Structure 1
Amino acid sequence: MKTLSVCLILSASLMPAQEADRMSIPLTDPSKPATIKVEMMNGDITVRGYNGREVIIESKAVAERNFRRKRQSAAELEGLKRIDVGGTAFDVEERDNVVTVKNGMMMGGGSNITLQVPVASTLRLKTMTGTLSVDGVKGEVEANSMNGEVRITNTEGSVLAHSLNGKVSVALNRVDEKPMAFSTMNGDIDITLPSDTKARFKLKNDHGDVYSDFEMKLESTPKVEGGSRRDDGKYKVKYDRTVYGTVNGGGPEISFTTLNGQIKIRQKK
């Protein structure tokens, strides 16, 4: 077992805007697939698959968000200039082909991070505020953003993608036999799948429409679940807006869920 740990500290004020820190992380066994785990508080995460044997990380500090700065009157700041002492600390660890990247407490700003990973890598990505972008990997992908878009293209493994406030767009070159799920509370879901995809679609959209160019056989399912009498005497009935449908004879379940937005399911041309 081999462990590699690196701590990187970025300063938004001291680094020229065009420069980025770059490091290469060797894997314990490059002949086997890697798992990449990235957790960010503030910043974009971009991952690209490549035909290499290491994980290459580039990180670039970004200026502090304006909404985080305290508003001061001109009189209070007369004769003074702002000195940014903030930055973002990163911890990078590799153990048994698992590469973990985490940033510490936000100190005035955030950082955008770009990773080049071997194409067979599995990804576990999470950010509080930022966009998640993935391109050209064949392993499984889990992507979660609280405030930002999720964009995944040219992938071949199963995908679980969620954004609380942002669009989820995914284009897969191949669909395996595992279930997948795409969800957002406030945003559209736009998914492109191979035309020969065999799946059972689970569709739920509370305040929007669903569009698809797949020939879908809708299932007849009860919309009203069993009612119940509450303590105050009122009788409550739950109405389920979920719709199920099969394409190409059915297969693993693929779930599409949004509260406020549209769902678009396209065939790959």
Structure 2
Amino acid sequence: MKKLKLIGLTCLVIALGLGQINAQNSNEYKLDMSSGKLIVKELDEVEFEASSNGSVTITNRDNDREKSERAKGLRLINGLGLEDNTGIGLNVEKTSGGATINQISRTGSGEYLIKVPKGVTIVFENGSVYSKSVSFKNINSEIEATTTHCDVRLENVTGPMTISTVHGDIDGAFGTINQSNPISIISSHGDIDLSIPIATKANFTISTNWGEIYSDLEIEIEKTADSMKRYNQNKVNGKMNGGGVNMNISSTHGSIYLRKK
């Protein structure tokens, strides 16, 4: 009798363990992809991280939100004709050049972590008023990000990259900067605050129409001999460590802060 109880208890523990594993797996979606372009659209809150394996892994960190009782048994769809084919609130479509990921819900379905292999180019697009933030951590492949309301966070990134936001701030820190292709970082209404390694070789174009430029970097500024004054614009052209990769950093209404790292 005791043996039967022990076996039953063991089975229960195993079942609970499998249940936990399945619950964890239900928050994750894997995409076999080690090269090409990963296009991610309209995710309201997402963090990109480097991955050491040959696949893209997407995790919904907040997939336990209460769902409407009326929606039980129904699939989430939207006006683009897309439906959730991942189980975590996203639609994934494989293409010849890579894959495209779309958020299905207009107001978001969670907070996502996307781990991306080194050979994959990341393209992020978000024009939603519900968007919150996007971050890139330890990414050393190419990044293209275009947002309207997102704040953009960079952590130990190398470039090349093109970052553009309308209403968001851009802040973070570079690792060893890739010299192969230009870097462009632009915000229309937000501030830009970046830490740059002191050994970086770069040609800087830094500008703001209504803000200020602050820096403790050793930038050799090119002085202009313009005979006419330019109002409502503060533009700096200069070289660091003799010049190198072209870096364009611009904010229309915000200020720019460039710091030693």
The TM-score, its normalising length taken from structure 1, stands at 0.70
**Whole-Å Cα distance in 2 between the matches of residues 121 and 138 of structure 1?**
10
**Whole-Å Cα distance in 2 between the matches of residues 84 and 250 of structure 1?**
61
Q: Does residue 43 of the first structure (1) align with residue 36 of the second (2)?
A: no
C-alpha deviation, 1:133, in angstroms: 0.8
Change (3 A) 1:61 1:224: farther
C-alpha deviation, 1:259, in angstroms: 2.1
**Whole-Å Cα distance in 2 between the matches of residues 103 and 149 of structure 1?**
18
Contact 1:203 1:243 in 2 (8 A): yes
For structure 2, which runs of at least 5 residues remain unmatched after alignment?
1-23, 78-83, 85-89
The TM-score, its normalising length taken from structure 2, stands at 0.72
**Whole-Å Cα distance in 1 between the matches of residues 196 and 114 of structure 2?**
25
Q: Deviations over 1:37-72 (max 9, x none)?
A: 1011x51121111211111112346979xxxxxxxx
Q: Does residue 25 of the first structure (1) align with residue 31 of the second (2)?
A: yes
Q: 2:210 aligned to 207, 210, 213, which one?
A: 207
Structure 2 residue aligned with 1:118: 117
Q: 1:250 aligned to 225, 228, 243, which one?
A: 243
Q: Does residue 155 of the first structure (1) align with residue 154 of the second (2)?
A: no
Within 5 Å, give how 1:80-229 maps onto structure 2: 85=71, 87=76, 89=84, 90-96=90-96, 98-104=98-104, 106=106, 109-128=108-127, 129-177=131-179, 178-221=181-224
Q: Deviations over 1:7-45 (max 9, x none)?
A: xxxxxxxxxxx9963111113xx4xx34221011x5112
- Cα root mean square deviation, aligned: 3.0
**Whole-Å Cα distance in 1 between the matches of residues 147 and 63 of structure 2?**
19
Q: Structure 2 counterpart of 1:262, which letter?
A: S
Contact 1:199 1:251 in 2 (8 A): yes
Aligned with 2:239: secondary structure?
strand
Contact 1:50 1:136 in 2 (8 A): no
C-alpha deviation, 1:206, in angstroms: 1.8
C-alpha deviation, 1:142, in angstroms: 1.2
For structure 1, which runs of at least 5 residues remain unmatched after alignment?
1-17, 65-81, 227-236
Q: Structure 2 counterpart of 1:163, which letter?
A: T
Aligned with 1:137: secondary structure?
coil
C-alpha deviation, 1:241, in angstroms: 3.4
User: Which structure carries more strand by proportion?
Assistant: 1
